[in-house]
Amino acid sequence: MDTLQNMRTFVCVAESGSFSHAAKQLNVAVATVSRSVAALEAHLRARLLNRSTRHVALTEVGQRYLVRCEQIIAHVDEVEAGNTQLRPSGRLRVHSMMGVGRHYVVPAIADYRQQYPDVSFELTMANRMPDLIEEGIDVAIVLAPQLPDSGYVSQRIGQSYSVLCASPDYIARHGAPATPQALREHECLRLVSPSSSVDQWEFYGHDEVQRVSLRPSAFQVNMGDAMIEAIESGMGVGSLPVFSAQRGIDSGSLVRLLPQYHLQCLNVYAVYTNRRYLDAKIKVLISHLRTVLPGGEASI
């Protein structure tokens, strides 16, 4: 049994969300993908995936095993990249969504260039999925619950989520909501993004999900930095990606509300055009980002 290849197949299924999508990415039959995962489960004597007619979902064992597989594959790929190109060099064109770009990608690039000064970067940031081929992008860093079906290759390299915040002044004037449903009595500001709804917030607790329909808002914006300014100015309650909110929470300009809940979880993906013959400088960047991005739910 080719364990490493089966691990790669399992990771592809987990990241794409289905056997058929994984088969298309790997350019093999669906039956081949199914046999690889079944062989891996038999080898481990554990179920990694729960299967339905439309979807596959990771079991608890599968979630833990996926993290290990991704780490092992990243190390193997990095070693292979070193065999063909010992010192990454040349220009790397990167596209990133804005929040994760500012807080993680730019510092990662700065650290990368300390180690590999022969690599230059052209970074574009926008909250959209680019056309990699048309725009000449080497790798895109995308934040989304799941990626739509496409001809691209993706790796999940991290995870984040959003939290609910308000300013101390707003709380002094209006009080803090005790439950998600109490938000109907508050001014809720909307951060508009391709991966979120402006009409409803979903709150995830330890064993429950609560959905709150929001009344029409007097303010909505599509940039996280502008939303931070609006919340700190006392305009209302707003949701922010945890990495955007952290500095304000630490300084006291923001207060996290309903800390027993978080909002929608989002995966961070590295997306590129072809799995085969991936340039060493792209492999090294993806491997480095995997070490600096949060992999799960941190608490603040």
Contact predicate 265/294, CB 8 Å: no
pLDDT attached to residue 109: 95
Contact, 72 vs 7, CB < 8 A?
Answer: yes
- Using an 8 Å Cβ cutoff, are 202 and 163 in contact? no
The 10 Å Cβ neighbour count of residue 173 is 10
**What is the Rg, in whole angstroms, of the alpha carbon atoms belonging to the chain?**
21
Q: For residues 138 and 251, is the Cβ–Cβ distance under 8 A? A: no
Query: pLDDT 10s digit of each residue in the chain, 300 long?
Result: 688 899 999 999 988 888 988 888 888 999 999 999 999 999 999 999 988 766 788 888 998 899 888 888 877 776 665 554 557 888 999 999 988 999 999 999 999 999 999 999 999 999 888 888 888 899 999 988 888 777 788 889 998 889 999 999 999 999 999 999 999 999 999 887 765 656 788 898 877 888 898 887 888 888 888 999 999 999 999 999 888 898 999 999 999 999 999 987 889 999 998 766 678 889 899 989 998 888 633 333
Burial classification of residue 126, based on how many CB atoms lie within 10 Å of its CB (0-12 exposed, 13-18 middle, 19 or more buried): exposed
**What pLDDT score does 151 carry?**
76
Tell me the whole-structure pTM to 2 decimals.
Answer: 0.64
Cα distances from 67 to residues 31, 52, 245, in angstroms, run 24, 23, 26
CATH architecture of structural domain 3-84 = Orthogonal Bundle (1.10)
Q: Are 268 and 156 in contact (CB under 8 A)?
A: yes
Among 294, 127, 117, 122, smallest CA distance to 196 is for 127
pLDDT of res. 192: 79
**Total residue count of the chain as it appears in this document:** 300
Distance CA 59, CA 14 (A): 11
Which tokens hold the place of 256? 């996290």
Q: What is the distance between the alpha carbons of residues 58 and 64, in angstroms, rounded to a whole number?
A: 9
- Residue 298, pLDDT score: 35
Within 10 angstroms of residue 43's Cβ, the number of other Cβ atoms is: 11
- State the Cα–Cα distance between residues 43 and 17, nearest whole angstrom: 22
Which pLDDT does position 252 carry in this prediction?
A: 95
Strands 153-166 and 255-257: antiparallel
pLDDT at 272: 92
- Helix (H), strand (E) at residue 297: none
Each domain of the chain, given as residue ranges in start order, spans 3-84
In 151-263, beta strands by DSSP E: 153-166, 190-191, 200-204, 209-213, 220-221, 238-241, 255-257
Nearest of 106, 109, 113 to residue 87 by alpha carbon: 113
Q: Are 236 and 170 in contact (CB under 8 A)?
A: yes
CA angle 17, 196, 51 (to 5 degrees): 20
